[in-house]
Structure 1
């Protein structure tokens, strides 16, 4: 499947049309190493192939299940894969030959403004879901695995989320469309929405 998605991307690029794949949808039913492997390999290959529409973040069980934890992890996988796809910029500014001559052997590049600026641009810094700690730091933090860290991240996002209220005119227009469909199909009520 992943190879077919890569081929599809190449055909799409050749014909200059957008291509989309469900590459982040895992077959697994639980969030485990297989889930990460399928999502990571699939998206990395898809992004390198030129896929420009990604479907399936958060999906498992062949799209029969959806997990907010997997969605958070998939967000990190997307960031890494697309950072890899963008590659390294190599030009006069990034090579900084004048800076190399100035600092010289044994010098410290981290004190240079140029290094700090390019480090921020070129270094991919994932969220706290991805562990970049030393072993002692990780142990002091509770020895949490990626699922625990994703759960904490999702809970934090949900706790702080304030949904933007829908414009009343747009809500009325949508309700009118739904009511029209309900009448056309002789549906008296819905569990949610207009009645």
Structure 2
């Protein structure tokens, strides 16, 4: 199940506000302050720490089966998409990635696969990364801009099945052009990082 995407961006507060305005909740904020990583989770708001020199590593927003994260970057950069999979699926996908000569990096909490398309794929087996019980929100489709062609065929090989909720178009900058997210509060809106979002049916 496609559940996630991540951007690096200079527009952290604006991005958080955008997703909160569309029904997401902020589940965590982790940033480096005075030399060490600390949490600035709700109920803290930006008014509590806006003037502090915090380098945010991750801000996580959730709605239903959707988890969208972002961290500070000097410019907007799309980093990865995430799929929730079973342990059996995880192991098979990793085997396929190695056969495809894609780099696989397994961690305690998640696995990252580096693609030749300028972004990574996260594999997640822990159900607590989403709030699926809260409402019907889910990512129905993402359109990704890539510099080279072949993404959809490679994803079908990686997952051993057609991946129908990812489409790609050619462009000069790798990013998510648009997404269809079922259950958000608005439609045909653009987030601060250039992702056009439509409400699914």
TM-score range, shorter chain: under 0.3
TM-score, structure 1 normalization: 0.20
TM-score, structure 2 normalization: 0.20
Larger Rg: 1
Name whichever structure is richer in helix by fraction. Answer: 1
